[in-house]
Amino acid sequence: MERNLKLTIAYDGSAFHGWQRQQGVRTVQEEVETVARRVLRHPLQVVGASRTDAGVHARGQTAHIHTTCPIPAENLRRAIGQRLPADIGLVHVADVPLGFHATRDARRKLYRYRIHNDRRRPVEGGRAGYAWHIWVPLDAGRMQAAANVLVGRHDFAGLASAGSPRWSTVRTVFAVHVCRRFDTIVIDVVGDGFLYNQVRNMVGTLVEIGRGHWPVERIERILASRDRRDAGPTAPACGLTLEWIEYPPLRSYADGT
C-alpha cells in the first residue's frame, strides 16, 4: 500500500551547496535521498518545502516521500537518521495523507537571522558560522521601525536577487521582529513564501538603517521603486536558519493525490 511520509529535517548548511540537488556539488536533498533509497529499497524523490541556499541552515525543513515500505514511521526515522551524515538530522517522520505536498501546501515559513553585534569575534562566543559579524553598533529600534513597513502584501521585487524567476514578485509578510539579546540581534521573518535572497536582502537593508546610513523611510522607496539597486547588500548566508514551516490541519487533506 502506498504511503506518504512527512519528514522534518535539520541541517548545518555550512558544507552544503543548498537544499536542491545539483550535479557535482553536495546538497541536502541528495544526501537524504541517497540514504532513504538504501533503507526503503526503491527509487524515490525527497520533495522539500524550501530551497534553502548554499550556507543556509535549517531546524525545521519539511519534505515528503512516497513509499510502499511497511516499516513504521518511527523505525524509519531511526534507520534513516542514523545513516545520515553528522551535519543532517532527521527530527521527525510521520504518515500523512497521500494528498499532502510539502512545497505546495506550505502556509507560512519562519526564517531567523542572527547578527553578532560586538567588537569581539563570533568565535569567542561559540557562534562562528551561525551569525553575521557586524562591528559597528546597530540601533535595533530603528531596524524594527523599518521592518514594520515590510509587513503586509507587497511587491518585493526591490528586495529579490536575480537568478530565480517567478511569475509574480508579490508576497505576504505576516511579521518581522527585531530583538537585541545582549550582543546578538535576532531578526524573525514570517511569510507565505519568499523570493530568491529576499530575507537576506531585507536583513542587509535593515542593517544599513540600523547603522544610520539610511533613514527608516528608505523601505517605502524600495517597495515603490521595485529596484534592487535601492536596497541594501545581501546578508551572508551563515546567519540564516529556516526554523519552521506551517501547514493546514492534516484532516483537511483528501486521501489521494
Catalytic residue among 53, 95, 139, 255: 53
Q: Return the pLDDT at 7.
A: 98
The whole model's pTM is what?
A: 0.93
Phi, psi angles (nearest 5°) of residue 155:
-90, 110
Q: Return the pLDDT at 257.
A: 42
Phi, psi angles (nearest 5°) of residue 113:
-115, 135
Ordered per-residue pLDDT tens for the chain, 257 residues: 899 999 999 999 999 999 999 999 999 999 999 999 999 999 999 999 999 999 999 999 999 999 999 999 999 999 999 999 999 999 999 999 999 999 999 999 999 999 999 988 877 767 778 999 999 999 999 999 999 999 999 999 999 988 666 789 999 999 999 999 999 999 999 999 999 999 999 999 999 999 999 999 999 999 999 999 999 999 999 999 999 999 998 776 665 44
Q: Quick check: 29 and 211 in contact, CB under 8 A?
A: no
Measured distance CA(226)–CA(30) in Å, rounded:
35
Measured distance CA(178)–CA(114) in Å, rounded:
10
Measured distance CA(203)–CA(187) in Å, rounded:
8
Measured distance CA(206)–CA(117) in Å, rounded:
14
Q: Return the pLDDT at 255.
A: 55
HSE of 180, CA atoms in CB hemisphere, 13 A: 14
**Ordered domains of the chain (ranges, CATH):** 3-105 (3.30.70.580), 108-243 (3.30.70.660)
Annotation marks residue 53 as catalytic: yes
Q: Kindly state the cell numbers that stand for 34.
A: 541517497
